Structure 1
């Protein structure tokens, strides 16, 4: 299995890295200063977006881009190393119109939008003119099982009426967020198929009855674009806003997550790479008990384990990306669960080691480590908690074992 990048991809990586180092990173302090004032740093991001589009670093995540749509269509495998580079700066993905949750929402619209929905929502999203949020998770149910979702989407003549409470709707506090993709129940019959009860609908955020209640902090960190709690009270939207067919919501949710998990995992690996670099520099500079930290065996062990674990995780993610490109998202379902499980736990280990090497400074905003650590801890929940992915992987292994039951008998040295 060859994961060697093509010359064209390597050149794109060099272009992206130069742009990040020379134009994005110098604005990093400004971005965080403005965000700390409680505003979204659009004055930092928008000029960079225009520049990225000039360089052809735009909509890199969507393999299905058409000739008349802006961007550079890359395979999942080709996009993966670029996502890793973007991950080194927490807000950088938006510069390239490659930020969640818009990537997943654009993919859904690309696959299932009507011509009217394509014109109204997908075109401005692809152009980076608006943003969107994804309203699935609810505070009152275990949303790791998407069939638990209780928000209702009831047909009333030429409209649907939406009622429910969501939270962790990422992006809803962004000043350019104009539409939410809302998942809810359309078939309320008690005996309905639990995987065919839900649907998705496009809800403009300025629709009467939509209330963004609060921006939920994550480990005391408030994201300026928001992980918002939203209440939908008797929100009326046209029937034409239904995404896909009634009852297809669960299937749409699953289709949306495959490539997005590759993106998340590679951005996570990018953060881990940065953490290793920072940890090594700190260990070479800092002295304790008459020696540099780098001279202590336990610090060397942390560095060595971090290096091999990151490289292992990257190979696993690239394999999943290659399988998606070759055989489709569904064929890579187990691989996608595996990378999500591995990358989230890897992130926690590597960032914990880096913070420990930095000492008290690692807990402060003086370095990006504390904020990166909070992302890693949150990653063990979003896009499915670790336990769900363990269950998916284990059930697949047990299924294979049932199919070949008895095949290991000859290996027993008894009887």
Structure 2
């Protein structure tokens, strides 16, 4: 296995790091401060739009898409260091049009969408003109088992009718969110993995209602947010079904593999940022007459954090290589391994950073509290740890 990115990916990574250092990271603290003062945080500040135009002009746009015309034509392994770089910033993914869940939704439309669906929704998403949401998790069932889903997408003649309630739909609070992908039960008598369909649902369709925005560890995560939405007799043309009825699970598998690579590499960037802040704090701050780096085993904790980050990065690069060379069907264990290991690693590293920062670590003066929340949340999002461990164990035991 060769984990070396292509020359094109290395050039893009260097260019992206320069752009983040010179244009994005300097404005981020002020952006956070302004957002915290807004009565209505569900809005896009002008500097974000300015930086989006700059990123697009610089070719730092749609970096995730394996298409040479609409993106940069990168595979998972080549995109990994770019996702890591963007993970150091809360706003960089949107600025480069690489934000979740838009990336996953765009990949679904790119690979499975009809020409009409691509024209109506994929093109404006690729242009950064609109944002999107993904409606899968439900409040009344254990959604770690996706076959539990009760929301329905019933085909009635030339229409598909949506009913049910979804929550933890990331991106629903963004003012530019115009469309969602809804996964619902279409045929309860079919094979358990052929029962569900994915349907494109405009948010202004009659019967769609955003019930509330949810807090994650008491944070709203504005302007993106995680929302709860109800669907009451939402009638849409049957051509809003992606790839046809019953293909929801097939599409979900294709969507979640690369998405988990993206999430995990962004978390590695977040862990790197936390370790960088820790090292600075440990050398600059003194207690009991000594730098923090020389107190209470802190040096050993910093060393362990470096080891953990490096291990996690190599595991993600292996999973990315497997996806590129074997496909998701032959990479299930590797993808589940990173989904367990990386959020746990990031949570531990960030927790150590918070401890070394003392009271400042749990405040908004540093990005650590928000970073810890992101890492902790990702131990549930895209499948909880227990589900992934179960899959890993099942695949491991199958050889015996």
Residues 209 and 235, structure 1, Cα contact 8 Å, conserved in 2 = yes
The number of equivalent residue pairs is 396
Counterpart position of 2:363: 364
Task: Say if 1:59 and 1:73, in contact at 8 Å, map to a contact too.
Answer: no
| Contact 1:34-1:40 within 8 A present in 2 as well | no
Structure 2 counterpart SS, 1:62: coil
- What is the CA–CA distance in structure 1 between the aligned matches of 2:91 and 2:19, rounded to whole Å? 14
Change (3 A) 1:5 1:249: closer
Shift of 1:385: 0.4
Larger Rg: 1
Partner of residue 155, structure 1: 155
CA shift, 1:158, in A, is 1.5
Structure 1 unaligned regions, length at least 5: 403-415
Other structure's SS at 2:94 match:
helix
Residue 167 in structure 1 maps to residue 167 in structure 2: yes
Q: Secondary structure at the match of 1:26?
A: coil
Any idea what SS the aligned residue of 2:297 has? helix
Contact kept? 1:112, 1:244, Cα under 8 Å: yes
Please state how far the C-alpha of 1:44 moved relative to its aligned partner: 2.3
Does the alignment pair 1:396 with 2:395?
yes
Q: Which residue does 2:94 correspond to in 1? A: 94
What's the CA shift for 1:251?
Answer: 1.6
Name the residue aligned to 1:35: 35
Aligned counterpart in structure 1 of residue 215 of structure 2, from 214, 217, 230:
217
1:56 equivalenced with 2:54 (yes/no): no
Deviation, structure 1 residue 297:
5.4
Task: Give yes or no for the alignment of 1:176 onto 2:172.
Answer: no
Structure 2 CA distance for aligned equivalents of residues 210 and 42 of structure 1: 27
User: Could you tell me whether the CA contact under 8 Å between 1:35 and 1:41 is conserved in 2?
Assistant: no
What's the CA shift string for 1:317-363, capped at 9, x where partnerless? 01111111112122211100001111011011101110110111101
Q: Find the aligned partners of 1:9 and 1:200 in 2 and give their Cα distance.
A: 33
Match in the other structure for 1:111: 111
Shift of 1:31: 2.5
The TM-score normalised by the length of structure 1 is 0.93
CA–CA separation in structure 1 for the residues paired with 2:243 and 2:34: 39
CA–CA distance in structure 2, aligned partners of residues 124 and 87 of structure 1:
24
Deviation of the 1:157 alpha carbon:
2.4
CA RMSD of aligned residues (A): 1.2
The answer to whether the Cα contact below 8 Å between 1:257 and 1:383 also exists between their aligned partners in 2 is yes
Deviates more, 1:280-289 or 1:79-88: 280-289
- How does the TM-score come out when normalised to structure 2? 0.97
Deviation at 1:160, TM superposition (A): 1.1
SS at match of 2:335: helix
1:44 and 2:44 matched: no
Q: Is residue 355–residue 361 contact of structure 2 (8 Å, CA) maintained in 1?
A: yes
Candidates 203, 206, 213, aligned match of 2:204? 206
Task: Return 117-126 or 290-299, whichever deviates more.
Answer: 290-299
Inter-partner Cα distance in structure 2 for 1:361 and 1:274: 16
1:377 aligns with 2:376: yes
CA distance in 2, matches of 1:173, 1:42: 14
